Amino acid sequence: MNTFDENSQEMMKKIIYILMYTESLEKFQKIVIKYAKNSLNHKIDKDLKLTIYNILFQMKNNQEVEQIFIDYIVYNEDKDDPILKIVNSYWK
């Protein structure tokens, strides 16, 4: 989960899809949180990023998710980034 090349990202998309339907919610959430944390300093595929952050958005009252979102806001340089809309609406 620490490799962010194109092939790894495509594989992660498939893994997320499979886990969504086969694993417990808790295990699925742990994997998504871990990937999101590790990907903060990497450029990842737009669709994969949207998928991950939409999943995180659904995890209300989660300190790890809140920290990921805060870090995303701090490190993001693109004010038109669609992920920022997801992140900013988390606390509404």
pLDDT tens-digit profile of 69-84? 999 999 988 889 999 9
- Residues whose CB is less than 8 angstroms from the CB of residue 32 and which lie 6 or more positions away in sequence, other chains included: 16, 52, 55, 56
How many Å from the N-terminal Cα to the C-terminal Cα in the chain?
31
Residue 19 in domain: yes
Position 66 pLDDT exceeds 60: yes
Name the nearest CA neighbour of 66 among 35, 44, 87, 41.
Answer: 87
Position 3 pLDDT exceeds 90: no
pTM here is 0.81
Residue 60 in domain: yes
Average pLDDT, the chain: 88
Position 1 pLDDT exceeds 70: no
Q: What domain count does the chain have?
A: 1
Residue 1 in domain: no
Residue 38 in domain: yes
- Report pLDDT for 74: 93
Structural domain range at position 33: 6-89
Mean pLDDT of 28-49: 89
pLDDT tens-digit profile of 33-43? 999 998 888 88
Q: Cα–Cα distance between 7 and 29 in angstroms, integer?
A: 22
